[in-house]
Amino acid sequence: MTAPTQQPPSHTGSQQIGADRHTLTDRSFHLIGIGGAGMSVVAQLLAARGARVSGSDAHGSPAFDHLADLGITTYLGHDAANVPAGSTVVVSTAIKETNPELAEARRRDQEVIHRSQALALAAQGLDFVAVAGAHGKTTTSGMLAEALTDAGADPSFAIGGVVRALGTGAHLGGGSALVAEADESDRSFLNYTPRVEIVTNVEPDHLDTYGTTEAFETAFVDFAHRLVPGGLLVACAADPGSLRLARTAAAEGLRVVTYSFGGLDTLPGGMLVGEGHVHLTIQERGAASTRARLTLIRAAEPERNGGARAGEQVQSQVELVLAVPGDHVALDAAGAWAAGIELGVEPAEMARALGSFGGTGRRFEDRGQADGVRVIDDYAHHPTEIEALLRTAREVAQERGGRVLVLFQPHLFSRTRAFADRFGQALGLADTIVVADVYPAREIQADFPDVTGDTVVQRVSGGRATFVADRLEAAHALAAQARPGDLLLTVGAGDVTELATTVLSDLATREGGAPGSPTRRGGHA
């Protein structure tokens, strides 16, 4: 067993919240895999609410180190002796029953709960806003958390990525709201009872868990049923699955507000679905910003069936100026705007606060520039995400007079097999693509012998994609093809994020004219 790391407790959070917020002072929790993005957030929130918290992780990480700085006892490596007697053990779906700490907890008959259940405990007494969807969760929840903070609401938040302006993904504030991502991948979002739900899309994913599209969509209907009485579902009508969810929820008498790029004429029958709709109109696109208009259309008197007559609307209209590019980001902002209004923020103030959003970690994150090549890192790992990312990248690259180059690492063999054709189509929006081998995560190659990164490459038309199995070699290969003016992206949910540094190092060496550096091709773009 490795000796625990412990630092003097940080009192930053406790100074911001009163003693009445320390509702877990009589509880002890031990989190297995505490260094992971989602688990580290939960650890911080539990500690901020007064609980005694410890945890272990197989590998060190910045998040793991930060927990020790906050006074949380951490263990590097898993060992049965790490588990405090009497503590509630918190696990994620990734933790196997063979884990020595989980096995010890079972032997002792200690309480074992899922990460989502621990977060639900931390959310007690707060206005819980749960953000769900196959993609867009981190951006939407991060945007909402930052905007509410900027508006003076001091929300609590639990986000699986770092909100750049806030410097963290976890905080227990003094306000009444808690904003959190709700993970649908393992059905754990069904453990929550939110006041507000934002559903960015219901596009099939995680079919290794759900099996069918129908089962995936049914889970979101169940999620809507988890709303507290009088709670609000904010659903993206630009996504067919989310629109179906909105119609089902409204027909069942739940409160619903939709949002999309279209107005009432794009909704079924030209009528509101539920009690309101946010119409997003993009007015100007830039490499570093987006200007849009948000129009909230509400029914004066909603009909009993969940719809409203076309002539019975009252409108609120505001300007939205985002400091980040991308239509998809603006669409996320529309959902966050509706949620903020529901929480009591004035529409104009909410739009102003959203304008300050500076992005979250690994979402079009600028990692630097060398030899005239700008390097961007992004978490996109679903075809729809990649398509939205590359459309934004194209706009940025055009302003630079360069090309779009992509280093893509597929995530999960099952997802790669299920969406191979769509991955090929999405990546086809780039000029040059290098695909590394699949990041297996919880899966093993032996179960998918016919699936590799080349499975995707074969679906990219025009011979623009190359399969280089080794991720480091893939990074070197793409860096060698980059030229001044280009936008180079590292893309995927695995450890491809580490390769941005490799690419920048190669480019910097070339820029300095080091012996043996690759020759520039094509001159200046």
Q: Which residue has the tokens 């695909």?
A: 435
Residue 312, pLDDT score: 56
Say which residues have a Cβ less than 8 Å from residue 219's Cβ, sequence separation at least 6: 184, 187, 189, 190, 210
**Among the listed ranges 40-49, 90-99, 307-316, 350-359, which one has the minimum average pLDDT value?**
307-316
Compute the average pLDDT of residues 365-377.
Answer: 95
The answer to whether residue 63 scores a pLDDT higher than 70 is yes
CATH of 123-354, one of 3.90.1150.10, 2.30.30.830, 3.60.10.10, 3.40.1190.10: 3.40.1190.10
List, for residues 129-188, the tens digit of each pLDDT value.
999 998 889 999 999 999 999 999 999 898 877 888 888 887 878 899 999 999 888 888
**Among the listed ranges 17-21, 389-393, 480-484, which one has the minimum average pLDDT value?**
17-21
Residue 424, pLDDT score: 97
Residue of 138, 248, 290, 497 with catalytic role: 138
Question: Which is the CATH superfamily of the domain at 365-511?
Answer: Mur ligase, C-terminal domain (3.90.190.20)
SS3 state at 320: strand
List, for residues 87-136, the tens digit of each pLDDT value.
999 998 889 999 999 999 999 999 999 999 999 998 888 999 999 998 88
Nearest alpha-carbon partner for 282 in 239, 326, 238, 338: 326
Compute the average pLDDT of residues 411-431.
Answer: 95
Residue of 73, 101, 104, 137 with catalytic role: 137
The answer to whether residue 513 scores a pLDDT higher than 60 is no
Residue 21, pLDDT score: 59
Tell me the CB-side half-sphere exposure of residue 415, using CA atoms within 13 A: 24
Residue of 146, 181, 184, 385 with catalytic role: 181
CB atoms within 10 A of CB 488: 31
Residue 523, pLDDT score: 31
Residue 308, pLDDT score: 47
Query: Encoding tokens for residue 477?
Result: 């290969």
The reported pTM is: 0.76
Query: Encoding tokens for residue 499?
Result: 């390769």
List, for residues 256-283, the tens digit of each pLDDT value.
999 999 999 999 999 999 999 999 999 9
Compute the average pLDDT of residues 408-420.
Answer: 95
Q: Using H for helix, E for strand and C for coil, what is the string for 100-149? A: HHHHHHHHHCCCEEEHHHHHHHHCCCCEEEEEECCCCHHHHHHHHHHHHH
Contact 54, 72 (CB under 8 A): yes
Q: What is the DSSP letter of 382?
A: S
- Domain residues of the chain, as ranges? 12-113, 123-354, 365-511
CATH topology of domain 12-113: Rossmann fold (3.40.50)
Q: What is the DSSP letter of 519?
A: P
Amino acid letter, 292 = A
Residue 71 CA: distances (Å) to CA of 47, 53, 411: 9, 9, 34
Amino acid letter, 291 = R
- The reply to whether 384 belongs to the active site is no
- The reply to whether 137 belongs to the active site is yes
CA 482, CA 397: separation in Å to the nearest integer? 13
Helix axes 347-354, 137-150, angle to 10 degrees: 120
Compute the average pLDDT of residues 470-491.
Answer: 97
The answer to whether residue 408 scores a pLDDT higher than 90 is yes
pLDDT band for position 315 (cuts 50, 70, 90): confident
CA 354, CA 376: separation in Å to the nearest integer? 22
Residue 358, pLDDT score: 86
**Among the listed ranges 31-40, 399-408, 447-456, 509-518, which one has the minimum average pLDDT value?**
509-518
Nearest-Å Rg of the Cα atoms of the chain is: 23
The answer to whether residue 517 scores a pLDDT higher than 60 is no
Residue 515, pLDDT score: 34
Sign, CA torsion 359/361/363/368? positive
List, for residues 68-83, the tens digit of each pLDDT value.
888 999 999 999 999 9
Amino acid letter, 12 = T
Q: What is the average pLDDT score of the chain? A: 88
Residue 14, pLDDT score: 31
List, for residues 11-58, the tens digit of each pLDDT value.
233 333 333 556 899 999 999 999 886 788 789 889 988 999 999 999
Does 408 or 135 have the greater pLDDT score? 408
Compute the average pLDDT of residues 441-448.
Answer: 91
The answer to whether residue 336 scores a pLDDT higher than 60 is yes
Residue 211, pLDDT score: 81
Residue 301, pLDDT score: 58
Task: Provide, rounded to the nearest whole percent, the portion of the chain with pLDDT above 70.
Answer: 90
